Chains A and B, each alone.
Chain A
Amino acid sequence: GEDVEQSLFLSVREGDSSVINCTYTDSSSTYLYWYKQEPGAGLQLLTYIFSNMDMKQDQRLTVLLNKKDKHLSLRIADTQTGDSAIYFCAESRVGGKLIFGQGTELSVKP
């Protein structure tokens, strides 16, 4: 299909790790992205991974890419209440267009 798919909700306790999963469709996507959206705000780029990489680490964030299964994940270590937001994965298409998933709402409980 044409869709990028994510689970809609994730709830974790403060200090735990969060793992947000995404499946995409276009095996020729050059880049895959994770964006964060806080309530009432626009999208903020969190991180991205080039399609020839398996993993990228950036402080508390770890991105894993499984090209064979077209599966992308975002792990947030030591999740804090300030990480509560909606997280979108996106794949790039020809012309730099982005196709977004529906977003995963992360709720962090103290």
Chain B
Amino acid sequence: NAGVTQTPKFRILKIGQSMTLQCAQDMNHNYMYWYRQDPGMGLKLIYYSVGAGITDKGEVPNGYNVSRSTTEDFPLRLELAAPSQTSVYFCASRPADRYTDTQYFGPGTRLTVL
């Protein structure tokens, strides 16, 4: 298993540009999450999904959109990039396991908006 994969690893955007951060998992996990990590801070939840076709907002959803058309993929869309979206973005997934809600993280995408 590749686990959770994210692309790209790095990206520089200009203000107002748009892009999609890709996330995929091959573990057949129902739940998927997007977090952002600002310097010196913990992770903040942007959006999450409990299964294909179902998404919901986290703590900091403004400026982002998501979709979940398949179990494997959970892309994050930035429509009008702003400097405040400069951050490291992590995708995570977990199985629908009632005994633990351990999440498995991807390696992250480092995004800079200038």
Contact = CB atoms under 8 A, between A and B. Distances in A.
Interface of A: 4, 8, 30-31, 33, 35, 41-45, 48, 88, 90, 92, 95-103
Contacts of B107: 41-42
B90 A96 contact: no
Contacts of A103: 40-42
Nearest to A4: B42
B94 A102 contact: no
Nearest to B106: A42
A100 B59 CA distance: 12
A42 B93 CA distance: 13
28 contacts: A30-B101, A33-B102, A41-B107, A41-B108, A42-B108, A43-B43, A44-B105, A45-B104, A48-B100, A95-B50, A96-B94, A96-B101, A97-B33, A97-B48, A98-B33, A98-B43, A98-B45, A98-B101, A99-B45, A100-B35, A100-B43, A100-B44, A101-B42, A102-B41, A102-B42, A103-B40, A103-B41, A103-B42
A6 to B, nearest CB: 8
B44 to A, nearest CB: 8
A74 to B, nearest CB: 15
B69 interface: no
Contacts, number: 58
Interface residues of B, number: 26
A102 B40 contact: yes
A100 B31 CA distance: 18
A30 B56 CA distance: 21
B87 to A, nearest CB: 14
B75 interface: no
A35 to B, nearest CB: 8
Contact of B101 (A41, A44, A92): A92
B79 to A, nearest CB: 24
Residue in B45, B103, B108 with the greatest tally of chain A CB atoms within 10 Å? B103
B61 interface: no
Contacts of B50: 95
A41 B104 CA distance: 13
